Amino acid sequence: MKMPQLQITLIQKNWLEGSSPEQDLCSHGKINLVIGGESITSGDEDYGVSESALALLRTLKENHSMQEPVAERLIFHGCGTMLMMGCPIGIDFEVRHEHGHVRIGNAVRYDGTSNTDVVKFPAVAVELSEKEYRREVTAFASEAMKLFAGVPKTFSDEVDRQEYEQFWREYNLLLSGCEIAAEQALCSGLG
């Protein structure tokens, strides 16, 4: 059996410790990330699951690199915010779309806020079909959103409510295969 070039597995999903499900607007948990047979995560660290899922969904149609990012990181640490910024800890890697294939490389894990807390994976470079990449990312994103089902949220203010609604609007559009601007009306049945 052929080893998958990319595996993104949600090992555990939870709300932030000390926060109620109604108050926590982002999910957290343990992620197993394997690229080209190499484990990028240890499986022990908590990451921002919903933010990571949205960042990865953005790469279904867009390239991602440090020079042209779709988000600060592709796998966020749990210390970030719903807007996916403010925490340098996490994992990043390049995603390039080329002729029906996706190339992944230049993986870097940022274990802390210092420049000495960086683990690079220079040998990690894989190519897989767009279909394989989409299947792995959408399976992860679909699993990540299950924790939110049936959980009413409370917001500290109207700005939080709007950001939360915007986050999930983009998430659902990308997960369903819709492009944010051009196809939004068509995909929502308004076109």
Tell me the pLDDT tens digit for each residue of 147-190: 999 999 999 899 999 999 999 999 999 999 875 544 444 454 44
pLDDT band at 86; cut points 50, 70, 90: low
- State the CB neighbour count (10 A cutoff) for residue 44: 7
CA 7 to chain centre: 13
Give dist(CA 117, CA 99) in Å, integer: 36
**CA angle, corner 76, sides to 132 and 34, nearest 5?**
40
Give dist(CA 51, CA 28) in Å, integer: 9
Predicted local distance difference test score (pLDDT) of residue 87: 73
- Taken as a whole, the chain contains a residue count of 191
Closest alpha carbon to 58 in 72, 47, 45, 48: 72
Predicted local distance difference test score (pLDDT) of residue 177: 86
Predicted local distance difference test score (pLDDT) of residue 113: 81
Instruction: Express as a percent the part of the chain with pLDDT over 70.
Output: 86
pLDDT band at 68; cut points 50, 70, 90: very high
Burial of 24 (0-12, 13-18, 19+ CB in 10 A): buried
Overall average pLDDT of the 80-100 stretch: 80
CA 2 to chain centre: 25
Predicted local distance difference test score (pLDDT) of residue 83: 56
Does the pLDDT of residue 191 top 50, yes or no?
A: no
pLDDT band at 29; cut points 50, 70, 90: very high
Give dist(CA 35, CA 8) in Å, integer: 9
Predicted local distance difference test score (pLDDT) of residue 4: 79
- The H-or-E segment that residue 162 falls in is helix 158-175
Does the pLDDT of residue 56 top 90, yes or no?
A: yes
Supply the pTM of this predicted model.
0.90
Overall average pLDDT of the 124-146 stretch: 96
